[in-house]
Amino acid sequence: MTIEVSRAQLRKARLGVYFVALIALVFVIVFSIQVFKGLAGPISSMNWVPIKATLINVYIDETITTTTRINLSQYTLYTPRILYKYNTNGQEHTGRKVTWNDIYDDGFMLKLGHELKRKFAASEAVDIYINPNNSAESVLIKSVIWEHMSKLLVGFLISWSVFLWLVYVLIFKLKYKR
């Protein structure tokens, strides 16, 4: 179905679509940066070498978030904080990095924190991953934590879809025909 519109109406419609496309572009940029940050570490550490490390200190950090200004809903989120030491090529190194991103939640990270506290109490070694090119660089979990990444990927796909649809509308649908 085609609707006849004047040039002035078409110009107003284009301005509206440009404005919404600009907002969608901001979301595309923000989600793209977040997805890049979430995947860059795990991709760069694919060839890192596993090694045993001794836990020196473990505690679970918590933060309380609210969803409204009047604090109707409060959530307590957790992340493990650790200090570990390991030896490579006769040198002792220490590390603190648990994951590539500082993630707080009440699921995976809380369970991981309790597991690390149990291993610390039992003086049990943990597997960490070290950079073969720089043995002072290490991380406990080198893989993507999909529990958190999946939400970012959904936002990433939706923002790109909306942006590309708006570009399609601007290029192919908002034309003046006479």
Are 1 and 19 in a shared domain?
Answer: yes
Are 30 and 6 in a shared domain?
Answer: yes
Counting the structural domains of the chain, the total is 2
Prediction pTM value = 0.76
pLDDT of residue 2: 67
Q: Which residue has tokens 């699921």?
A: 107
Residue 151 has pLDDT above 90, yes or no: no
Task: Report pLDDT digits (tens) over 44-88.
Answer: 999 999 999 999 999 999 998 876 666 677 888 999 999 999 999
Q: Would you state the structure tokens that stand for residue 103, as one six-digit string?
A: 């993630």
Amino acid code (one letter) for 125: A
Are 30 and 100 in a shared domain?
Answer: no
Backbone angles phi, psi at 134, to 5 degrees: -150, 95
Are 69 and 125 in a shared domain?
Answer: yes
Are 116 and 165 in a shared domain?
Answer: no
Residue span of the structural domain in which 167 resides: 1-46+145-178
DSSP-assigned letter for residue 155 = H
Q: Which of 77, 83, 75, 149 is nearest to 116 (CA)?
A: 83
Are 52 and 137 in a shared domain?
Answer: yes
Are 32 and 91 in a shared domain?
Answer: no
Are 81 and 165 in a shared domain?
Answer: no
